[in-house]
């Protein structure tokens, strides 16, 4: 019987303690092999060139070139999934720059009790490494004329609800670049991301579009022409306001099976209840199955359901789950998704 190939990895981290902790985690998994470590971005690029690992785990902020430099160089020379570690909220912009340049995903580096936090069983490093090894890291460059997708007339739908996980930040940025700048219905997004990064992501998206992008607040009424991001501290539901007839934001501590804070299933299921057949549900790239149950409910209520196709997904996990389950009949490439949505409106 032939031996199953292990996933080869490289750690790039200036902290000696973090190098040891990360090494211990990787070595504890028989499916993962550690090829070596590097102390900064420059050395990391050199070792990546020499060792050709399957996956690179890199700190974001380091001396002698940071994580953005490493991602940029690796993607130019030999595209390899890079998982970034970041703990500095003031450098959130650098994380999103790195994601846009092709980084696979990022993990929030613990700020307190680092040793125990990193060693905790729920720290998802090995899970992310395995997903990265199977990912499609080919960068999808969407070149769009903003004026090519103008919106005219009234909409057949009342809202677009989007769920995304790994690879989602880049996919969402690309999608918003394709969307009309005069869209007259709300877009509501649940992106799997640590809560500390959500506000920075909203600000970044707000710079890409004439539409207003914000993090949703409890009790807030959903308005047309706004893009709302679910926060990462709770699961978000939508409810009908019995007095105004509008749709309002509500947070819940209810635990969902696939993912929490924010749960895509939670958002989608509640949106299906309030919008019925007047909503579009869309699942983008990501690990796991979150969103499948929600999308099934959207479809059952008569709404339109869409998922990103395999070729343009960084991780074809959530879209595949939705498609295989029958929750959606339509797979659309990322670079055609904006135009497709407009055509449906």
Question: Which segment of 27-41, 151-165, 322-336 scores lowest on mean pLDDT?
Answer: 151-165
**Within its chain, how far is the Cα of 229 from the centroid?**
12
Q: Among the listed ranges 44-48, 118-122, 218-222, 314-318, which one has the minimum average pLDDT value? A: 118-122
Compute the distance between CA of residue 313 and CA of residue 64 in angstroms, rounded to an integer: 32
pLDDT digits (tens, 9 = 90+) for 233-285: 999 999 999 888 899 999 998 888 888 899 999 999 999 999 999 999 999 99
Q: What is the pLDDT of residue 138?
A: 62
| Closest by CA position to 148, among listed 343, 345, 339 | 339
What are 35-71's pLDDT values in tens digits?
A: 999 999 999 999 999 999 999 999 998 888 889 999 9
Q: If pLDDT is split at 50, 70 and 90, which confidence band does 122 have? A: low
CATH class of 7-133: alpha beta
Q: How many CA atoms lie within 13 A of 155 on its CB side?
A: 21
Q: What's the pLDDT score for residue 333?
A: 96
Q: Report the C-alpha gap between 266 and 249 in whole angstroms.
A: 12
The architecture that CATH gives domain 146-344 is 3-Layer(aba) Sandwich (3.40)
Per-residue model confidence (pLDDT) at position 53: 97
Q: Over the stretch 55-114, which tens digit does the pLDDT of each residue have? A: 999 999 888 888 999 999 999 999 999 999 987 565 678 888 899 889 999 988 776 666
> What is the SS3 assignment for 107?
strand
Confidence at residue 136, expressed as pLDDT on a 0 to 100 scale: 83
- pLDDT for the residue 87: 75
pLDDT value of residue 137:
74
- State the Cα–Cα distance between residues 157 and 277, nearest whole angstrom: 8
Residue 335's Cβ-count burial label (10 Å; 0-12, 13-18, 19+) is middle
pLDDT at 141: 53
In the chain, CATH 3.40.50.2300 sits at: 7-133
Percentage of the chain modeled with pLDDT above 90: 70
Q: What are phi and psi of 17, to 5 degrees?
A: -60, -45
Name which of 45-54, 131-140, 298-307 the model is least confident about.
131-140
What is residue 147's predicted lDDT score, i.e. its pLDDT?
Answer: 41
Which residues participate in catalysis according to the annotation? 165, 192, 290
108 bridge partner residues:
86
Residue 145's pLDDT band, with cuts at 50, 70 and 90, is very low
Return mean pLDDT, the chain: 89
- Once rounded to an integer, what is the mean pLDDT over residues 300-314? 96
Q: What is the pLDDT of residue 226?
A: 97
Residues of the chain with CATH 3.40.50.180: 146-344
Ranges 126-140, 227-241, 304-318: which has the least confidence:
126-140
pLDDT value, residue 328: 94
């Amino acid at each position: 019987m032939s031996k199953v190939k292990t996933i080869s990895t490289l750690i790039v981290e200036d902290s000696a303690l973090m190098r040891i902790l990360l090494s211990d985690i990787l070595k504890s998994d028989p499916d993962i092999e550690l090829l070596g470590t590097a102390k900064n971005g420059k050395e990391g690029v050199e070792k990546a060139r020499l060792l050709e690992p399957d996956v690179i785990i890199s700190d974001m902020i380091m001396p002698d070139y940071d994580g953005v430099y490493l991602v940029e160089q690796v993607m130019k020379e030999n595209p390899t999934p890079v998982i970034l570690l970041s703990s500095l909220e003031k450098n959130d912009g650098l994380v999103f720059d790195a994601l846009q340049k092709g980084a696979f995903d990022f993990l929030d580096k613990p700020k307190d009790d680092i040793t125990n936090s990193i060693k905790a069983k729920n720290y998802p490093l090995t899970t992310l490494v395995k997903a990265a090894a199977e990912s499609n890291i080919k960068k999808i460059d969407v070149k769009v004329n903003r004026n090519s997708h103008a919106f005219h007339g009234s909409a057949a739908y009342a809202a677009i609800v989007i769920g995304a996980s790994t690879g989602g930040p880049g996919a969402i940025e690309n999608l918003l670049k394709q969307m009309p700048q005069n869209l007259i219905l709300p877009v509501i997004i649940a992106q799997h991301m640590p809560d500390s990064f959500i506000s920075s992501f909203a600000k970044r998206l707000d710079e890409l579009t004439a539409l207003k992008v914000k993090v949703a607040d409890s009790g807030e009424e959903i308005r047309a022409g706004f893009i709302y991001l679910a926060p990462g501290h709770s699961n978000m539901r939508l409810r009908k306001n019995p007095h105004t007839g509008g749709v309002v934001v509500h947070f819940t501590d209810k635990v969902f099976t696939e993912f929490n804070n924010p749960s895509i299933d939670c958002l989608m299921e509640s949106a299906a209840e309030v919008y019925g057949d007047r909503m579009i549900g869309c699942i983008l790239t990501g690990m796991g199955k979150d969103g499948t149950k929600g999308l099934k409910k959207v479809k059952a209520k008569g709404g339109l359901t869409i998922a990103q196709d395999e070729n343009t997904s960084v991780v074809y996990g959530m879209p595949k789950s939705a498609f295989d389950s029958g929750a959606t009949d339509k797979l659309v490439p990322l670079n055609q998704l904006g135009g497709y949505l407009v055509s449906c409106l």
